[in-house]
Amino acid sequence: MLAALCLLARPSLAGQQHPLVVVLDPGHGGRWPHDGAHGGRGLHEKAIALQVAQRTKAELEAQGATVILTRDADEDIPLADRVRIANEAGADLFLSIHCNAMEKREDRKVTRGVETYFLSPDPTDAEARMLAQLENGGPEAVPLPKAADAVTGILNDLALGQARNDSAVLAQIVQRHMVKGLRAQSRGVRQAPFLVLSGTRMPSVLVEIGFISHPREGRMMSRHRYQARVAQALAAGVRDFAEEVLSRRLVAQARPPAAEKTDAPAVNGAGLVASPARTR
């Protein structure tokens, strides 16, 4: 447990430790048409997403992170408010949790698996475009804002550009842990213009944890034991991202130039503060 606690405490430039701040976004909520996808036997995406988010919150908090939910009850939270919650919290990363579904009966019987999305104005394919439209509130929803010059937009906000790059890495790490931890079919890392990801100023991904419309996978996602495995996989993805990306970057920034000597304690790669070397 000590190692996990260290990974979820990010060092500052002063060498001090601060808890990793994670915002979990249980998709949908409230009444139709905001309640999300439906499965057999009364399964609702909004309920499963919230249960998984609450379990993931418990996993991360047990390992030292500060975790905020965009909703903790069955209520409809506008997408803009979900983004605002993450930004005002100064979150280190943002995970939006959803359940996938197919409309056609023949597709519902066979389509299953996990996929993880990061933000892009250019969807991976027609299926990703359609999913983004549904999650955004339908084809009539406000489109993803586009800069007149994408390169200029990134240069004008380097922090936002870095967050977008990190989002792709976060998506890869989360997808890997989800597939391994659940032994689920991988539908890959994909990209689409999700509004809930477009305004966040930190690495952000949207995870489709499975197909609620699939007869077997939908039932599995409703079970507490399976939800616990999903939560463990998501928490493991957060840990790896914190160690491989966030912690190493901050440690590199905190390290003094090689030519200069300092008596300040050094920060090691795990986020621990190491004591200065003793002299004899």
- Rounded average pLDDT per 10-residue block, the chain, 280 residues: 48 62 96 89 94 98 96 95 95 96 92 94 77 69 46 51 88 97 96 88 96 96 97 97 85 60 42 35
**Tally of structural domains, the chain:** 1
* Structural domain span for residue 192: 2-274
Identify which of 64, 90, 84 has the alpha carbon closest to the alpha carbon of residue 235.
64
d(CA 187, CA 90): 31
Is the four-CA dihedral 61, 63, 66, 69 of positive or negative sign?
negative
Instruction: Provide the 3-class DSSP secondary structure of residue 133.
Output: helix
With respect to residue 279, please indicate whether it lies within any of the assigned structural domains.
no
With respect to residue 154, please indicate whether it lies within any of the assigned structural domains.
yes
With respect to residue 211, please indicate whether it lies within any of the assigned structural domains.
yes
With respect to residue 135, please indicate whether it lies within any of the assigned structural domains.
yes
Give 109-141 pLDDT, tens digit per residue: 999 999 999 998 777 778 887 888 778 775 444
Is the four-CA dihedral 181, 182, 185, 186 of positive or negative sign?
negative
Residue 139 pLDDT: 47
pTM of the model: 0.79
d(CA 43, CA 28): 14
With respect to residue 178, please indicate whether it lies within any of the assigned structural domains.
yes
Q: Tell me which amino acid residue 179 is.
A: V
With respect to residue 52, please indicate whether it lies within any of the assigned structural domains.
yes
Residue 209 pLDDT: 97
With respect to residue 280, please indicate whether it lies within any of the assigned structural domains.
no
d(CA 66, CA 69): 10
What is the number of other CB atoms lying within 10 angstroms of the CB of residue 120?
A: 20
Give 1-36 pLDDT, tens digit per residue: 333 434 566 654 444 568 999 999 999 999 988 889
Which CATH number characterizes residue 107's domain?
3.40.630.40
Strands of the chain, DSSP E: 9-11, 17-19, 21-26, 66-69, 93-100, 114-119, 186-192, 204-211, 266-267, 273-274
With respect to residue 261, please indicate whether it lies within any of the assigned structural domains.
yes
- Residues facing residue 21 across a β-bridge: 66
